[in-house]
Amino acid sequence: MTTQSFVNEIKNFYNTSQARSELENMLQSNRLYKKNDEVIDFIRTVSGRDVDSFTIRETGRFLSDIINELKLKYEIKD
């Protein structure tokens, strides 16, 4: 990996708008079209501070895991 690509990857990781976009895409892929703002508000409420890329990604990962587990348990197909 070149230095420039490593720098770009780090910038992407800390980019809040990129993390929001990833969260929105995950929610939309699970047909939760209007939940993005609710999730962001939830993060603010729970953390007591403004959102950052880490909390957005971790919350998205957590929600995705729960959604996938529910799909398996109740045999829900996409």
For residue 46, is pLDDT > 80? yes
- Predicted local confidence at residue 1, as pLDDT: 73
pLDDT digits (tens, 9 = 90+) for 31-45: 999 999 999 999 999
Banded pLDDT at 48 (limits 50, 70, 90): very high
- The total of other beta-carbon atoms located within 10 Å of residue 51's CB is 19
- Predicted local confidence at residue 6, as pLDDT: 77
Every domain of the chain and the residues it spans: 3-73
For residue 51, is pLDDT > 90? yes
Taking CA atoms, 10 is separated from 22, 38, 51, 65, in Å, by: 16, 27, 18, 24
